[in-house]
Amino acid sequence: MNIKAVAKIKINTTNEIVRTVKIYSKCLQFCVNQAWKKRIRNNIKLHPFVYKNIRDKGLQSQLAIACIKQSCGMVKKAKTKPIIKKASIRYSFSRSASFKNNILSIATIKGRQKFQVKIPECYVKYFDNWKINESLLRIDNKGKTFFMFCFSKDFNVKNSNLHKRILGIDVGINNIAVTSNRVFFNAKQVKLKRIKFNKLRAKLQAKGTRSSRKLLKKISGREKRFMGCINHKISKQIVNSFNGNTIVIENLKGIRKVRRGKRMNFWLSNWSFYQLQKFIKYKAERKGIKIVTVSPYLTSKTCSKCKNLGSRSVCFFSCLHCGYSLNADLNASFNLAKHHSIADDVSVPVTVPDIRVYEHKSSPRTIACETMNKTHNC
């Protein structure tokens, strides 16, 4: 499978870079206008109508071609004519950009400009043996310039005959994640932190003073970064501890459409289910582990032992048919793993097939992981 990655590297903001971004944005808007007016969606057909004009405005030839191609891609997806305020410049390596000995050379309206790049340790592996694809130059709202190196690499999927193991992962609010090998990632401390952020935000908004608005701006994004860090730690721990070939996750699309009460709606609307699953997916794919998405329908209400519908009360599941009982999220993770093995007609047991009736109690078999008390590199 082909895996992609992005390395965000900060470079110096120069006058040439700022002017190039402004001209590129104007040229992109011009190309969009022409493509929309003439109903052209193909960059080769649009080329003769716009190329000379945008070259006269100062764009280098390869940037002009990238601008035309980008405009057609935007028009294809748009239902109304796109309005460009600020654009990211596309750079093709060996044509409009090059990178050698930690020196980045990119095309601008004043010719090539070179930058000494300091590569963070977490990105070094990408520059060693990954292929650099078409990349982006971007200036953010604070005026900082970043070059987005886009990489790709082919990874081999693990041989299913050698690793016949399947891991089911149930995500939720009381437990951020529960895996079918009985690992719990409790959400208690995360919920307390998010409640603290919500109260602080409400207090500052109600105050409405200049200093409160300034503080609101300062803390904006802090909660998002906090949750992203937690999800990185959890996903890394799950993938690194799994020695198998398939991970099964839930398809939670549309989960926020069902109204479940004020309190539950608050948590559903502010919980990052998709981000955690996305982190698990890309980390697993880089290890050659296959990701399968299945429907979550009745996974926590179906008995993972006898397959009959049971009763769920808050976090506890009990089966009225066979008397089996355990944590509802753990039961769902067992069902996810078993559901996939049955669907694929593979006689594979769950990662831990020996399931006991007393697992809902505080037993040495149950592992509780407090992610906030551990430190893992992302």
Per-residue pLDDT at 71: 94
Q: In which band, very low, low, confident or very high, does the pLDDT at 138 lie, cut at 50, 70 and 90?
A: very high
Residue 159: inside a domain: no
Residues 93 and 172 both lie in one domain: no
Clarify whether residues 30 and 146 are in a common domain: yes
CA distance 191 to 343: 35
Residue 7 parent element (H or E) = strand 2-11
- Domain match, 44 and 119 both: yes
More confident residue, 74 or 259: 74
Is the whole model's pTM more than 0.85, yes or no?
Answer: no
More confident of the two residues 159 and 203? 203
Instruction: Report yes or no on 117 lying in a domain.
Output: yes
Helix (H) or strand (E) holding 128, with range, is helix 124-129
Last residue of a domain, one of 154, 180, 209: 154
Q: Is it the case that residue 360 has pLDDT exceeding 60? A: no
pLDDT surpassing 80 at residue 134 = yes
pLDDT band of 358, cuts 50, 70, 90: very low
How far is Cα 247 from Cα 239, in angstroms, rounded to an integer? 9
Pairing of the two strands 145-154 and 325-327 = unpaired
pLDDT at 340: 60
What pLDDT does residue 258 have? 67
Which of the two residues, 249 and 354, has the higher pLDDT score? 249
Tokens of 304: 């993972």
User: Are residue 149 and residue 172 in the same domain, yes or no?
Assistant: no
DSSP sequence for 263-293: HHHHHHHT--HHHHHHHHHHHHHTTT-EEEE
327 and 182 housed in the same domain: yes
In which element (H, E) is residue 209 found? none
Assess if residue 378 is contained within a domain. Answer: no
**Residues 177 and 326 reside in one and the same domain:** yes
Q: What is the C-alpha to C-alpha distance for residues 22 and 87, in angstroms, rounded to an integer?
A: 8
**Which of 33, 37, 143 is closest to 86 using CA atoms?**
143
pLDDT digits over 4-56, tens only?
889 999 999 999 999 999 999 999 999 999 999 999 999 999 999 999 999 99
On whether both 256 and 124 belong to a single domain, the answer is: no
Q: Which domain holds residue 310?
A: 166-373
Q: Which of 96, 102, 99, 134 is nearest to 117 (CA)?
A: 102
Distance of alpha carbon 81 from alpha carbon 71, whole angstroms: 11
| Predicted confidence (pLDDT) per residue in 278-336, tens digit | 999 989 988 888 889 888 888 888 888 888 888 888 788 888 888 888 888 888 899 88
Residue type, 70: Q
> Which residues have a Cβ under 8 Å from the Cβ of 234 and sit 6 or more positions away?
176, 177, 185, 276, 279, 371
Residues 259 and 172 in one domain: yes
- Give percent of the chain with pLDDT exceeding 90: 39
Give the domain-ending residue among 123, 154, 185. Answer: 154
What is the separation, in whole angstroms, between the first and last Cα of the chain? 22
For 102-136, b/e burial (b = at least 16 CB within 10 A) is eebebbbbeeebebebeeeeebeebbeebebeebb
Q: Rounded to whole angstroms, what are the CA distances from 341 to 133, 291, 349?
A: 37, 13, 8
Tokens 């097939």 identify what position? 353
Q: Are residues 106 and 174 in the same domain?
A: no
What are the tens digits of pLDDT across the range 49-61? Answer: 999 999 999 899 9
DSSP state of 227: H
Residues 352 and 331 in one domain: yes
Res. 345 pLDDT band, cuts 50 70 90: very low
Q: Greater confidence, 9 or 160?
A: 9
Q: Residue 294 falls within a domain, yes or no?
A: yes
**Position 26 in a domain:** yes
Which residues contact residue 312 at a Cβ distance below 8 angstroms, ignoring those fewer than 6 apart?
300, 301, 328
pLDDT, tens digit (0-9, with 9 covering 90-100), for 328-343:
888 889 988 887 654 4
**Do the domain assignments include residue 160?**
no
Residue at which a domain ends, from 154, 182, 204: 154
The verdict on residue 161 lying in a domain is no
More confident residue, 77 or 158: 77
Averaged pLDDT for residues 227-234: 92
Residues 191 and 293 in one domain: yes
For position 229, what pLDDT does the model report?
92
128 and 184 fall within a common domain: no
DSSP secondary structure letters along 30-70:
HHHHHHHHHT---HHHHHHHHHHHHHHTT--HHHHHHHHHH
Structural domain total, the chain: 2
Q: Residues 323-326: contacts with CB within 8 Å, 24+ apart?
A: 323/357, 324/355, 324/357, 325/357, 325/360, 326/355, 326/357, 326/359, 326/360
